Structure 1
Amino acid sequence: ILAVLEPRSNTMRLGIFADALGQALAPADAVYFYQPPNQDWRPPDHDDLPPLLHFNDVGQLVEQLSTSAQSGDHILIMSNGGFENIHQRLLDRLQECFTA
């Protein structure tokens, strides 16, 4: 499971769920965290959690995720907004990677 997280809601941006976030992300094999330019908060790193990769550019996140993903992986995108059209951008890039 490759988890992608955009903290878009006010409660997420304020870090209200920071303590619970670790437990929620624990089943993932890697977490791709998008940190918008106007946000200082980021989830804390924990030794018992999967690798946490930070990005402030959606294009870079898509590129890294598409080159890291392998056949059979499940990609979970969590956001309550459009997330800069990440769904279609990722699908397009994965198709390029896996059909090349």
Structure 2
Amino acid sequence: MPFGDTHNNFKLNFKVEKEYSDLTKHNNHMAKVLTKDIFTQDDVIQIGIDNPGHPFIMTVGCMAGDEESYKVFKDLLDPIISDHHSGYKPTDKHKTSRT
């Protein structure tokens, strides 16, 4: 787990149906992609739950804690990265001034 697991004691009583947030007024990429199945990945999405974003500026709405997060939370992060970067795919390579 890329983050500490001390919060998992709380998750013993966690019910997605009870805790799932109404994100209909959120303007961030995470809110567009989030499903109840992904909702349990709260370490990554909490920033987007707490901050709905700006009404005129689409924010990202999630945060990967480290490199491993991109593998662990691939189902959530790949569509967000693609949406935020106009179709950037996991197989694409970042272009630098050297390439």
Q: TM-score normalized by structure 2? A: 0.29
Kindly name which structure, 1 or 2, has the bigger radius of gyration based on alpha carbons.
Answer: 2
Higher relative contact order (CA 8 A, sep 6+): 1
Q: TM-score normalized by structure 1? A: 0.28
